[in-house]
Every structure is written in C-alpha cells, then in structure tokens.
Structure 1
Amino acid sequence: MLPGSLGHWWRNKFSMRWQQTCLLACWLSLCAADSLFTCPSSCQCNSGSLEVDCSGLGLSSIPSDIPTNTRIFLFLNNKLSTLPGPVFSNLSALQRLDLSNNFLDQLPQNIFSDLGNLTELQLRNNSIRTLDKDLLQHMALLRQLDLSINGLAQIPSGIFDDLPALRLLSLRSNRLHSLDRVTFEPLVSLQQLQVGDNPWECDCNLREFKHWMEWFSYRGGKIDQLACTLPKELKGKDMRMVPMEMFNYCSQLEDENGSVVLDNSGPPCTKGSPTPSKSKSGPEPEVEPSVGCPQKQKYRPVSVRRAIGTVIIAGVVCGIVCIMMVVAAAYGCIYASLMAKYHRELKKRQPLMGDTEGEHEEQKQISSVA
C-alpha cells in the first residue's frame, strides 16, 4: 500500500471514530438532562420550559424532590400554611414562583434569600398579616410582586430598597390605612401600582404619600383609585382629588406635637439650671431659663370637622346679614312708594285750596267798592 493511500485511510477512520464519539456524548448529555429534571410525584412537569406545576392538589407542604434547575414553580390552590426556611435553598435558577390561594400567614425572614434570579413572585389570596423588612433582599431582578387579598395592615419601611427592577406592585384588598412615601421612593422602575379596596384614612399620615402619588402619575405611572374611608367628609373620594388645602391644619398639628427635634443624648430638658453655691448658708442660686426647652404652643383648632363647622357658621351668619339687608331694602322701597303717593295726593289738593282763597279776595274787593 502506498504511503499516500495509507494516510487517507487513517484520516477517514479517525473522522468516523470522532463522529461516533460526538454522537455518544450528545446522547449521554441528553440522558443526563432527563435524569436531572425528574418530576415530583402527582405534579405535572415540562422539561422544555423547566416548569413544575403542583397546583390544585390539596398539598400542605412543598415537595422536597423539585429539580434544582427548575425555572417555573406553580403551587396554587393548595393548603400550604407554613414555609420551612430551607425549602427554596436549592432552587437558585427559579424565575417565577406562584404561591397564590393558600393559607400562608407568616413568611420567614430569609425564605427568598437564595432566589436571586426570581423575576415574578405571586402571593395573592393568602393570610399574610406582617412582612419583614428584609424579606425581599437579594432580589434585584424581581419585576412583578403581588401581595393582594391578604391581611396586611402596614408596609415596613425599607422592604422595597433592593428592588430597582420592580415594575408591577399589587397591594389591593388588604387592611392598609396609610403608607409612607419613603417606602416607595426606591422603586425607580415602577410602572403600575394597585392600592384599591383598602380602608384608607385620608389624614396627615397620608399627606406625603399623596405628594408621591402625584409625582408618580406625572412621570407616567398607573395607579388605581385610592378611595378614602375616613374622615366622613371625604368618604368615597379619591385621595388624588382631595385639594391640598384640606391638609393645611397638618402643619399646626406638627407644631403642637413639637416639630423641633431635640438631642436626646444630653441631660433631660429642665426649666432652669441652678448655679452651684460655695456654701450651704449662702443665698439660693438664681435660675436661668433653659435655651433648649421649647415653649408650649397655644391651642389651635386642628380638626377638619371643626374647620368645616366654622365655615358653616360663617355662611349662616352671612346669610342672616343678607336677609336683613334684603328686608331693609324692601322696607325702604315700600316707604319711598308710600311717601311718593302721599306727595302726589298733596299736590292734587293744593289747586283747590288756592281757588277758595281767590274767591275770598274777590269778595273783599267787591265789599270795599260798595
């Protein structure tokens, strides 16, 4: 066999072996992928989208054999009431988590700390009453968060500080009566906020959030109706439509409560600071007024109801004055008409009186001639 033919034969044989090796490696990788994505019992899985669906099975706990490369995990309409701390520790690839329509009443502080790739979190229709301020840490990619239909009475300040990518936030149908503006300012990417069906108290505690809502709407954000429950004068009205003049009393309230913050690290505030004396028998030390003690403010009405009552009383007084002016004007008109009629009748009688006097003069002249 010639050397050239021998080299060609070896090249063909090597290429055939290489193709066989590649095919074997691909087959083994597919088998390994199938073995890694093993679906939990009674759940439905999709190996293409790496989705695990355990919804509507009446489960009270999350299966422990969820594949580690799962991207979508659905656990709706079950009987889940508690979440153990490490239940999601091996699911770092998870992108969507739906735990809606369960019986969760409390969420551990670090329950979502390992879900750094999560973009959607659904906790709708549970019994969650409180949230820890560190609950949503390390979730910088989260875009949608649904906390509607729960029992939340307040949102802790700082809970949204690590969510720069959040676009949709739902807080509908809870027990919220006020919100803090500082809590929502870190949500720079927020596009839609749902806060309806809550017992909002439209008082001074909601004034700053009203400013934030106006700014949020100005930059193109969408927010549903925030209907007031209290006070009664504003019941049913949208907070955004309430004029800011209704909150002018808030500054007076802040003055009465002591808006000047003093340094609490020093000694307590006293009315005076005595000067130490050298001897006990000496005169009593003079008391100088303390600079740090604010004087007590005089009482000022700060109630919206009282302000509205003042307006009503002023309106009644003005109405009475107007009625008196109308009566006086009517009396003047009647008096003027009567006087005019009297003068007309008087003018009619004057010629008659003049004729009788003329006749008397003529008779006098005739008698004098005779």
Structure 2
Amino acid sequence: MLARGSGPEQRTRLAVQWRQISWIACWIALCAVEALPACPFSCKCDSRSLEVDCSGLGLTMVPPDLPAATRTLLLLNNKLSALPSWAFANLSSLQRLDLSNNFLDQLPRSIFGDLTNLTELQLRNNSIRTLDRDLLQHSPLLRHLDLSINGLAQLPPGLFDGLPALRSLSLRSNRLQNLDRLTFEPLASLQLLQVGDNPWECDCNLRDFKHWMEWFSYRGGRLDQLACTLPKELRGKDMRVVPMEMFNYCSQLEDENSSAGLDIPGPPCTKASPEPAKPKPGAEPEPEPSTACPQKQRYRPVSVRRAIGTVIIAGVVCGIVCIMMVVAAAYGCIYASLMAKYHRELKKRQPLMGDPEGEHEDQKQISSVA
C-alpha cells in the first residue's frame, strides 16, 4: 500500500522541482541576454574581453546596436566620413576606441561626452583639420591619444586642460607651424610627445614652446625631433639645439610692439587707401592724417652660416698672425746666433786694435814668409 501511494506523491514532487528548475533556467537565460546583447551585424564580438571588432568592413556609419557593456571598439579601416554627436551614446564602459584610417574631417563637440572611462583614443590617418577645445573634457582618464597624419594646422587653447592622466600624445605628420606653451602645461603626466614631420617655423611664436620642450626633456620626457622648416638658415635643425641667442630679436620686437600700442590709434592701413575728399570752396583745408602704410620690417634670427663663417675667418686670421710671430721669433734667434758666431770668428782672425803683441806676431809671420 505504501509503495502504491508513493507513486503520485513522487510524481508531484518531481513536477514541482522541474517547474522550479525551469523558472531558474529562464531567469538565468534572461540575465545572460541582458549581460551579453546581440553582436552587431558583420562585427566580431568577444564576450570575455567585451571587445567589438568592426574593422575593415567598409562601414559608412557606426553600428547603432552596439552593446552597452563594450570596453573595446575597433572601427579602423572603414569609410567613416562623418559622425553624429550620438554615435557613442550610452557607452560609458568604453575604454578603448580606434577610429584610425577613415575619412573623418570634423568631430562634433559632444561626440565623446558619454565616454567617461575612455583611456585610449586612436584617430590616426584621417582628414581632421580642426578640433573643438571641449572635445576631450569629459574623458579625464585618457592616457593615450593619437592625432597623427591629419590636417591639423593649430591646436585650440585649453584642448588638454581636462587630461591630467595623458601619458602619450602623437601629433606627427600634420600642418602645425607653431604651438602654444600654455596648451601643454596641464599635461603633468605626459611621458611621450611626437611632433615630427610638421612644417615648423622656428620664429618668435615657437620660442616659448622651446622653453617648455627643454623643461619636458629635463624631467625625463621623450620627444622626437622638431626639425625647423623656416627660416632657411635653420632648415633641418632641431629646435632644441638652436641657441636662445638666435631669438634675441624677439625682445626687441616685443618692445617695439608695446611702444606702438601706446600711440594714438589711427585709421586702419590698407593697401588701396581711398582718395582724400576735395575741400569745399571757401572752406579752410583741414589737416589730413597720414594714410601711408609703414613698411613692415622683416625680422630674422641671426644667420647661423654667417656666424660660422665669421668664426672660421677669425680663426684663420689669428692662426696666420701666430705663425708670423713664430717665424719672426725664429728668424730673430737665427740672426742673433749667426751674428754672434760671425763676431767670434772675427775676433779670432783680427787682433784688437793697439795690441803690440799682435803686431809683433804679424811681423814675424811676414818675415818668415819672406
């Protein structure tokens, strides 16, 4: 009787347990779906490293269904030419973003606004010409930034103000001609700076940045060669080895500009000045301000070639003078020794005047000869 009665009860317990197991399995599946959302079409996703690889797919826009938990997003080698401001919205966990080798020419101001955990940003080999000063203000953890091979002609002041953790920065192969020292002073953690292959103009506008480079190298930072393109006298030379004496004219230029600023401002000077108005008949002519444009003097640093030539000529002249002095001294010594020898021989051959013994000996010699 017990064995028969135990059958239905056992089946009931098994049904209850199976129902509980089914609910647990469904809950786990729902959690897994939420934790690991679907991978974007044609992209490769790694659930362990939370990496989404959409590189080399010819994409013209960022996939809209990116998982919110993505930590690494690779979009290099595509055809992205423009990005909307919401392209990376809700990706607050993103740490690494690679947009290299695309056709981007401009970045919206708030495109990286949600990337508060971003540590690496690759923008290499695009067509970016300008950057907004607030572009990176919401990524304080950024450590590596690559802006090389673009069309940047200048960097806006304050671009790196919110990046105290930045360690490496690449600005190679752009159109930069000068940089402002104040733009780089907030980068207290910077260890590597690449600025080569730019058309640098080594003039007064780059003097303050030269001071910053020397300080950066002194504290152990690594910096590649900043080769001058202009002026012609400094072409190919590293800005760090150019002596500060080459920029002495900058102080003179600043003094002239400051003194010019104290003058009374006059009408703007233009190339084509308007003709003076003819005075009305019967009215006294009023003195007209001078509209002649003063010729702007072109300041140049001291010529390195001329300085080197002056040193060489001075050395040659000093060498010739020294050789002449040595020759004259040697000639004097030789002449003195010859004259001394001549006088000694003369004394031996001719007796002194008024010496009777010498005359007697001469007479004896003459008689003996006869």
Asked if Structure 1 and Structure 2 have the same fold, meaning a TM-score greater than 0.5 normalized by the shorter chain, the answer is yes
CA shift, 1:183, in A, is: 1.4
- Paired with 1:301 and 1:322, the residues of 2 have a C-alpha distance of 36
Candidates 25, 28, 36, aligned match of 1:26? 28
Matches within 5 A, 1:153-232: 153-229=153-229
CA shift, 1:358, in A, is: 1.4
SS in 2 for 1:169: strand
How many residue pairs were aligned?
Answer: 317
CA shift, 1:192, in A, is: 2.3
**Which amino acid is the alignment partner of residue 25 of structure 1?**
W
- Paired with 2:264 and 2:24, the residues of 1 have a C-alpha distance of 81
Alignment partner, residue 256 of structure 1? 253
Higher mean displacement: 257-266 or 108-117: 257-266
CA shift, 1:120, in A, is: 1.0
CA shift, 1:91, in A, is: 3.0
8 Å contact kept, 2:351–2:358: no
- Paired with 1:349 and 1:40, the residues of 2 have a C-alpha distance of 123
8 Å contact kept, 1:204–1:247: no
Counterparts in 2 of 1:185 and 1:336: CA distance versus 1, 3 Å: same
- Paired with 1:122 and 1:31, the residues of 2 have a C-alpha distance of 31
Alignment partner, residue 120 of structure 1? 120
Percent identity reads 67
- Paired with 1:174 and 1:201, the residues of 2 have a C-alpha distance of 13
- Paired with 1:324 and 1:337, the residues of 2 have a C-alpha distance of 20
- Paired with 2:332 and 2:263, the residues of 1 have a C-alpha distance of 74
Alignment partner, residue 325 of structure 1? 325
Per-residue Cα deviation, 1:17-74 (whole angstroms, up to 9, x for no partner): 887755543332223344xx22222211223433221111122322233334432211
CA shift, 1:148, in A, is: 1.9
- Paired with 1:256 and 1:31, the residues of 2 have a C-alpha distance of 68
Alignment partner, residue 303 of structure 1? 302
- Paired with 1:70 and 1:301, the residues of 2 have a C-alpha distance of 54
- Paired with 2:123 and 2:22, the residues of 1 have a C-alpha distance of 50
- Paired with 2:31 and 2:215, the residues of 1 have a C-alpha distance of 54
- Paired with 1:259 and 1:189, the residues of 2 have a C-alpha distance of 38
Counterparts in 2 of 1:266 and 1:22: CA distance versus 1, 3 Å: farther
Alignment partner, residue 136 of structure 2? 136
Alignment partner, residue 59 of structure 1? 59
Counterparts in 2 of 1:265 and 1:312: CA distance versus 1, 3 Å: closer
Higher mean displacement: 155-164 or 204-213: 204-213
Alignment partner, residue 83 of structure 1? 83
User: Can you give the 5+ residue segments of structure 1 that lack an aligned partner in the other structure?
Assistant: 1-11, 270-298, 364-370
8 Å contact kept, 1:203–1:247: no
Alignment partner, residue 283 of structure 1? none
Alignment partner, residue 275 of structure 2? none
CA shift, 1:227, in A, is: 4.3
Counterparts in 2 of 1:31 and 1:112: CA distance versus 1, 3 Å: closer
TM-score relative to the length of structure 1: 0.70
**Which amino acid is the alignment partner of residue 303 of structure 1?**
V
8 Å contact kept, 1:147–1:171: yes
- Paired with 1:216 and 1:224, the residues of 2 have a C-alpha distance of 12
CA shift, 1:319, in A, is: 3.2
8 Å contact kept, 1:117–1:139: yes
CA shift, 1:250, in A, is: 2.2
Counterparts in 2 of 1:329 and 1:145: CA distance versus 1, 3 Å: same
- Paired with 1:268 and 1:126, the residues of 2 have a C-alpha distance of 45
Alignment partner, residue 244 of structure 2? 247
CA shift, 1:230, in A, is: 5.2
SS in 1 for 2:193: strand
Counterparts in 2 of 1:205 and 1:332: CA distance versus 1, 3 Å: farther
- Paired with 2:299 and 2:51, the residues of 1 have a C-alpha distance of 63
User: Can you give the 5+ residue segments of structure 2 that lack an aligned partner in the other structure?
Assistant: 1-12, 267-297, 365-370
- Paired with 1:155 and 1:300, the residues of 2 have a C-alpha distance of 25
- Paired with 1:114 and 1:344, the residues of 2 have a C-alpha distance of 108
Higher mean displacement: 352-361 or 62-71: 352-361
Per-residue Cα deviation, 1:238-265 (whole angstroms, up to 9, x for no partner): 544x26xx21242443223327747969
Counterparts in 2 of 1:104 and 1:329: CA distance versus 1, 3 Å: farther
